[in-house]
Amino acid sequence: MKLKIALLFGGVSYEHEISIVSAIALKDVIKSEKLYIFCDKNREFFLIDEEKMKSKTFSSGEYKKFPKLTLKNKGFFQKALLKEKKIEFDAVLNVIHGADGEDGKISSLLDFFEIDYIGPRMEASTISFNKLFTKMYAKEIGVDFLEYEILKKGEYKTRFDFPVIVKPLRLGSSIGVSVVKEKRDLEYALDVAFEFDNEVLIEPFIKGVKEYNLAGCKADGEFLFSIIEEPKKEEFLDFDKKYLDFSRTSKAQKASLKKEDEERIKEAFKRIYSNMFEGALIRCDFFMLNDRVCINEINSVPGSYANYLFDDFNFVLEKLLRSLPKRKKIEIDYKYINSIQKAKGK
């Protein structure tokens, strides 16, 4: 049976526009039947016609002409003449990048209303969205990472020698990220980062470090991996270069790696994924330092779902959709309250 997927995109974050670009790119990539649900800046939902899935629809405000949806138990609903009509689909594909989509808000809502979806669950979102929590999680599961320091707003000193890289603690797409080569430039870089977050992460900047990206998921008990890509970069992947990733559909080239290094990257991915990211298709970005495989970032909602890294993206997506985590049904029967009332003779 052919599946129907609802692409949920937009949201209230610095990455709102990037989410729109991702959804538009996936329009021509995903072969399953699709519908498009847009979450605007007021967190109102709209059902968008496929032929109107163009950037101008959203920048001009034209999307407001489309049917407004209400999120309720078991699904999204549209007002009809006499009663509400449920929008039929098999599962939601979470395409909201950054806040709302990757910080746990949307996953919590979808879980609360018992709607099936592909995407990170609440705990996974919390761990991957906060770079400090990612480091703590990596340490717990035995995955290596770069040393780091956290600075709070108003702090302007680092213990590291220069150069360093400065990152807002809870943000993606390289927004607010700077490479600082000299001490005199640190304060400005921190002020930029503090515009987006009240905490920043500082790491040593290692020029020419090898970086590798691997996407994948677990479905029916087995891992489905993409190729491993070595992204083209100058000093680091800045916003402009990453922005292009959100609209990518052409296939990436496989990195030239020793077999043992490829297996070590995959092993690190497995440790990160299980069992925290069940139900999601994620992309992990790794650094290789001599013999060390270090996690750099966990992209729990990767740009255009990293479709360009897979030989058969639709096969992977459909297999994941058919094996989403099952919810445990909790029976509420009031036995405890009834037994107390009976004991009291009431």
What φ, ψ does residue 31 adopt, rounded to 5°?
Answer: -90, -20
**Over 70: is that where the pLDDT of 121 sits?**
yes
Q: Tell me, yes or no, whether 48 lies in a domain.
A: yes
CA dist 210 and 230 (Å) reads 8
Q: Decide: 247 and 307 in contact? Cβ < 8 Å.
A: no
Nearest of 257, 205, 260, 204 to residue 233 by alpha carbon:
205
Structural tokens at position 94: 């979470």
Tell me: do 8 and 97 sit in the same domain: yes
pLDDT at 174: 77
Amino acid symbol at 213:
N
CA dist 95 and 223 (Å) reads 21
Number of domains observed in the structure of the chain: 3
pLDDT-derived band of residue 345, with 50, 70 and 90 as boundaries? low
Tell me: do 115 and 153 sit in the same domain: no
DSSP H or E segment with residue 283: strand 282-289
**Over 60: is that where the pLDDT of 246 sits?**
no
**Over 70: is that where the pLDDT of 27 sits?**
yes
CA–CA distance from 154 to each of 130, 148, 194 (Å)?
A: 20, 18, 9
Q: Tell me, yes or no, whether 270 lies in a domain.
A: yes
Q: Tell me, yes or no, whether 329 lies in a domain.
A: no
Q: Decide: 67 and 84 in contact? Cβ < 8 Å.
A: no
pLDDT-derived band of residue 343, with 50, 70 and 90 as boundaries? confident
**Over 60: is that where the pLDDT of 47 sits?**
yes
pLDDT at 40: 98
pLDDT-derived band of residue 248, with 50, 70 and 90 as boundaries? low
Read off the CATH number of the domain in which 290 is found: 3.30.470.20
Is 230 buried (19+), middle (13-18) or exposed (0-12) by CB count in 10 A? Answer: middle
Structural tokens at position 152: 């709070």
Q: Considering the chain, what is the average pLDDT of its residues?
A: 92
pLDDT at 346: 60
Q: Tell me, yes or no, whether 194 lies in a domain.
A: yes
Tell me: do 313 and 288 sit in the same domain: yes
Global pTM value: 0.91
pLDDT-derived band of residue 60, with 50, 70 and 90 as boundaries? very high
pLDDT at 179: 94
**Over 70: is that where the pLDDT of 240 sits?**
no
User: Model confidence over 270-286: pLDDT tens digits?
Assistant: 999 999 999 999 999 99
**Over 90: is that where the pLDDT of 80 sits?**
no
Q: Decide: 340 and 322 in contact? Cβ < 8 Å.
A: no
Q: Decide: 77 and 87 in contact? Cβ < 8 Å.
A: yes
Tell me: do 44 and 89 sit in the same domain: yes
Distant-in-sequence, close-in-space partners of 71: CB < 8 Å, separation ≥ 6: 45, 77, 109, 113
Range of the domain at 82: 4-119
What's the whole-number mean pLDDT along residues 302-306?
A: 94
Higher pLDDT, residue 116 or 231? 116
Q: What does the DSSP 8-state code read for residue 253? A: P
**Over 90: is that where the pLDDT of 133 sits?**
yes
pLDDT-derived band of residue 175, with 50, 70 and 90 as boundaries? confident
Cα dihedral across residues 122, 128, 129, 132: positive or negative:
positive
Task: Compute how many other C-beta atoms are within 10 angstroms of the C-beta atom of residue 120.
Answer: 30
Q: Tell me, yes or no, whether 108 lies in a domain.
A: yes
> Tokens 């400005």 belong to which residue?
188
**Over 70: is that where the pLDDT of 249 sits?**
no
Q: Over pLDDT 90: what percentage of the chain? A: 81
User: Model confidence over 92-101: pLDDT tens digits?
Assistant: 999 999 999 9
Largest CA distance in the chain: 78
What's the whole-number mean pLDDT along residues 209-233?
A: 94
Read off the CATH number of the domain in which 177 is found: 3.30.1490.20
pLDDT at 300: 97
User: Model confidence over 192-203: pLDDT tens digits?
Assistant: 999 999 999 999
Q: Tell me, yes or no, whether 99 lies in a domain.
A: yes
Cis peptide before 302 (omega within 30 of 0): no
User: Model confidence over 283-295: pLDDT tens digits?
Assistant: 999 999 988 999 9
Q: Tell me, yes or no, whether 344 lies in a domain.
A: no
pLDDT at 176: 85
pLDDT at 83: 86
What's the whole-number mean pLDDT along residues 150-155?
A: 93
